[in-house]
Structure 1
Amino acid sequence: MNDKSYIYLDNAATSWPKPPEVLTAVTDAIRDDGANPGRGSHAMAVRASRILFDGRKQLGKLFNVKDVNDIVFTSNTTMALNMAIKGFIKSGDHVIATSIEHNSVRRPLYELEQTQQVSVTFVNTSYTGELDVTEIQRSIQSNTKLIIVSHSSNLLGSIMPIEQIAELAKRHNIKLLVDGAQSVGILPVDVTALGIDMLAFPGHKGLLGPQGTGGLYISPQIDLAPLMQGGTGSQSETPFQPLVRPDRYEAGTPNTPGIAGLAAGVKIVLANTVEKIAEQQWQLTQRMMEGLIRQNKVSLLGPTFGKPRTGIVSLVMDHIDSSELSFILDQHYKIAVRAGFHCTPLAHQIAGTGQTGAVRASIGLYTTEAEVDAFIDAIHDIAKQY
């Protein structure tokens, strides 16, 4: 869009605008290195393979992964979560997840409950989305094999105590899968220091890459059953999927231009540092909350003012449907937000918005104070009319 007055506050869905470096990387990959990586030994195919390796290398730096071949590219976080859940869980296993999980966790687990005799416990958070780790401990059974937790709620912005959960999981010989959809590139995520066994992540949100990119880190101690089988460009003579990583989990032609853009986005994150990005989002989020708290017709969801959260501020306004509020913001104020149930009905039930939904404003790397203030002013202006 060329309209510079348009305010984009939907970064929790996908980040925008994309950095020029990302656009250039995608274009260059299509124009100069458009061959199929791993499917030939000619110069273009080799350059395309190097794009994938560079992407893994940059992600390895960001997540502190020792062997970058443990990072598998997927088309999005949903595919990564399905790969982890369906590749690890077996019939008779018990899984623990939380009440803030996205449908990308809830629905695969529900399918396994219906088809594979898998049992699932969803532990409740508080209404603000904050978790007491003892709730997980109480839910552990003798057949519990996996704990799944979203690092940060895509509705409430709350941040889960991953290190404490990982310590608990390790004591009970349970693996930990983290949904990093709202945390990678926004919060520090060191898989070694935090004790994460599997990390599902998007390329198109905090990492600033194109849509259609994402990935899964898989600990070398875990062997997942592949979600798909097919061509890998390696061991073509055998009818079986290769055992070597990452080929075992990357059947089919990859999104090489998208991964080129993802690598460029990760380099920007590394240059800015996640710590500085987290501080910037924290300051803007607190500014937004402080401005909205003054409006008595508005109720904010998630952790209260001053408590840790990511750059997500969800709200409901008296006497107006969330979808209508979002439409007014878009059509009359040129502000993009997300309304509805955000693919996380369990979190809405916890927050008390299971019938109404909510409006979610989410901050990104390029959000400015002026844009936050414009959103606050728009909400106050609309509230006067209702």
Structure 2
Amino acid sequence: MNSIIYLDHAATSWPKPPGVLQAMQISMEQSAANPGRGSHAMAVKASRVLFEARMQLAKLFHVRNPNDIVFTPHTTMALNMAIKGLLKEGDHVVATMIEHNSVRRPLEYLKRTLGITVDYVRVNDKGELNIRDVEIALKKPTALVVCNHSSNLLGSILPVEEIGRLAHSHGAIFLVDAAQSAGILDIDVERMNIDLLAFPGHKGLLGPQGTGGLYIAPHVDLEPMLHGGTGSQSEEKEQPTVRPDRYEAGTPNTVGIAGLRVGVDKVIELTPKWIYTHEWNLTQQLLIGLKDIPNINLLGPDKGMPRTGIVSFVVDQHDSSEIAFRLDREFGIAVRAGLHCTPLAHYAVHTEQSGAVRASVGVGTTEVEVESLIRAIKQLCK
């Protein structure tokens, strides 16, 4: 029995499926050699761990060639690899107002160092985007369109397939930040016109921290961010051209990836459709329970509308950090408060001064836990 009501799944999922820890322990005990760096039995076992995880991720995201999936320590690394590996001096980029700092900061760095230009397409106060605004931003020759699949503050879901179609019609590469959608929303990289997909292993994919990845479409060639040993083409002074070695210099997190594979297996077993419906129903329960509490301002899409498992809110005359602190200390409920590394989204919904309290549900969250949060907030707001 958990001693805490954990409602911070947008930051990292917890607890993990039981098999995740078991797979990591078996990997550490039986296949902890360096994959791709030897032909002995344990190194081959380690390589098999990576291969099987790549295969399952390819199945989940409808990727034809598993070698187009590159492992990274987290989504932030994947986004940096995509953005810095693609953009050249003077390039134009279209992004949105709900981007995480893992997108915004690399873009702002390249504005300063390479002179790229960026248009951040506005969203309304529900976090919803007008596709016409994307089309207007694409009037310039554009190298990259990047967007959050779902806002980590508002839970709103962007029309990725349509944005990707627009990007391709203007000759731009399309990068999707799936930090809040991988494992929760169905993702088909070809149908959705996705050229680059950055995803975490430790959130909706139910794996351990320190895991993530980047899908790179076959026609996209990124300049590698890391240069070094890959176990292949060692006689060459340049990075290998073969994937995934080209983008995976250094020893990988084999133990973590063993756990990730089990998390992905669980997602495939449950299906993203089931997971999304489960989390959507819980968010509706939470929205209904909070809407009549005095002085609460709910953020994101209205009740009944599509959204991921995130409900953020502001309580008038109360600091969001104080609410989160008291929920933890007085009620044993874990949520997050502040700006959530997405200041542009806060500007879009006018909460840049107050920040917000964010509750986020997961696969294992129950109606009883959501009701406990509602009761606790009612008490705090008396």
Stretches of 4+ aligned residues off by more than 4 angstroms: none
Deviations 1:253-290 (A, max 9, x none): 00000000000000000000110111101101100100
Q: Secondary structure at the match of 2:191?
A: helix
Q: Give the superposed CA RMSD.
A: 0.7
Corresponding position: 1:279 with 2:277 = yes
Corresponding position: 1:76 with 2:40 = no
Q: Secondary structure at the match of 1:148?
A: strand
Q: Offset at 1:143?
A: 2.7
Residue identity in the other structure for 1:297: N
Q: Is the 8 A contact 2:294 2:381 kept in 1?
A: no
Q: Offset at 1:173?
A: 1.2
Question: Could you say which residue in structure 2 is the equivalent of 1:21?
Answer: 19
Question: Could you say which residue in structure 2 is the equivalent of 1:308?
Answer: 306
Q: Is the 8 A contact 2:94 2:118 kept in 1?
A: yes
Question: Could you say which residue in structure 1 is the equivalent of 2:8?
Answer: 10
Report matched runs for 1:88-237 at 5 Å: 88-237=86-235
Question: Could you say which residue in structure 1 is the equivalent of 2:246?
Answer: 248
Q: Secondary structure at the match of 2:232?
A: coil
Q: TM-score w.r.t. structure 1 length? A: 0.98
Residue identity in the other structure for 1:15: S
Q: In structure 1, what is the Cα distance between the partners aligned to 2:323 and 2:253?
A: 37
Unaligned runs of 5+ in 1: none
Deviations 1:121-175 (A, max 9, x none): 1010111100011111101144311100000000000000001101111111111
Q: Is the 8 A contact 1:92 1:143 kept in 2?
A: no
Residue identity in the other structure for 2:89: S
Residue identity in the other structure for 1:23: L
Question: Could you say which residue in structure 2 is the equivalent of 1:349?
Answer: 347
Q: In structure 2, what is the Cα distance between the partners aligned to 1:68 and 1:362?
A: 31
Q: Offset at 1:368?
A: 0.3
Q: Offset at 1:5?
A: 3.5
Residue identity in the other structure for 2:26: D
Q: Offset at 1:192?
A: 1.3
Question: Could you say which residue in structure 1 is the equivalent of 2:357?
Answer: 359
Question: Could you say which residue in structure 1 is the equivalent of 2:48?
Answer: 50
Q: In structure 2, what is the Cα distance between the partners aligned to 1:341 and 1:209?
A: 25
Corresponding position: 1:270 with 2:307 = no
Residue identity in the other structure for 1:194: M
Residue identity in the other structure for 1:312: I
Q: Secondary structure at the match of 2:123?
A: coil
Question: Could you say which residue in structure 1 is the equivalent of 2:288?
Answer: 290
Q: Is the 8 A contact 2:141 2:170 kept in 1?
A: no
Q: Offset at 1:349?
A: 0.6
Question: Could you say which residue in structure 2 is the equivalent of 1:371?
Answer: 369
Q: Offset at 1:4?
A: 2.2
Unaligned runs of 5+ in 2: none
Q: Offset at 1:350?
A: 0.6
Q: Secondary structure at the match of 1:193?
A: coil
Q: Is the 8 A contact 2:6 2:334 kept in 1?
A: yes
Question: Could you say which residue in structure 2 is the equivalent of 1:65?
Answer: 63
Q: Secondary structure at the match of 2:79?
A: helix
Residue identity in the other structure for 1:263: R
Q: In structure 2, what is the Cα distance between the partners aligned to 1:306 and 1:47?
A: 48
Q: In structure 2, what is the Cα distance between the partners aligned to 1:49 and 1:162?
A: 34
Q: Secondary structure at the match of 1:192?
A: coil
Question: Could you say which residue in structure 1 is the equivalent of 2:332?
Answer: 334
Q: Is the 8 A contact 2:17 2:263 kept in 1?
A: yes
Q: In structure 2, what is the Cα distance between the partners aligned to 1:125 and 1:4?
A: 38
Question: Could you say which residue in structure 2 is the equivalent of 1:40?
Answer: 38
Q: Offset at 1:117?
A: 1.1
Residue identity in the other structure for 1:172: H
Q: In structure 2, what is the Cα distance between the partners aligned to 1:346 and 1:128?
A: 13
Q: In structure 1, what is the Cα distance between the partners aligned to 2:337 and 2:64?
A: 40
Q: In structure 1, what is the Cα distance between the partners aligned to 2:90 and 2:344?
A: 24
Residue identity in the other structure for 2:109: E
Q: Secondary structure at the match of 2:144?
A: strand
